[in-house]
Amino acid sequence: MTTPLWCLAAVALLPYVCAWTGAYFKLRQFGTIDNKNPRRQALQLEGVGARLAAAQANAWEALPFFTAAVVTAHLAGAAPATAATLSAVFLLTRVLHPIFYATDLDKLRSLAFVVGFACVIGLFWISA
């Protein structure tokens, strides 16, 4: 499997990591996890827990775009080293994004988002 595909597998796991981490904050704030209506409970979170719920949503939103870029680069036979670098940087930004979100470092979070977005555009660019 290529580096971009490994990166895609890792990026696909990140929303779950955010959810598991967010569960800790549900327990801390509410004393329990509402498994019957977890989304409603997530909307009631405050502070770090609320930011982790938002980071999880953002991780899900970023996944399809990165998936399309990796698959396009793979099918187009794009330069493997460039595709690997762009994918690895994207993965790094997606790991940092929820950390910056949880710690309320909004400017760094936005920077991570922009750099990650540029990596996805770069993957499409090298596929042309």
Report yes or no: 83 and 71 within 8 Å, Cβ to Cβ: no
E strand or H helix at 94: helix 80-102
CA 81/CA 94 separation, integer angstroms:
20
Task: Please tell me the predicted confidence (pLDDT) of residue 1.
Answer: 84
CA 113/CA 109 separation, integer angstroms:
6
- This prediction has a pTM of 0.94
pLDDT in tens, the chain (128 residues): 899 999 999 999 999 999 999 999 999 999 999 999 989 999 999 999 999 999 999 999 999 999 999 999 999 999 999 999 999 999 999 999 999 999 999 999 999 999 999 999 999 999 99
Q: Which two tokens stand for residue 26?
A: 């549900």
Taking CA atoms, 123 is separated from 18, 39, 73, 99, in Å, by 25, 33, 6, 24
Domains present along the chain, CATH in parentheses:
3-127 (1.20.120.550)
Query: Residue 111: exposed, middle, or buried by beta-carbon count in 10 A (0-12, 13-18, 19+)?
Result: middle
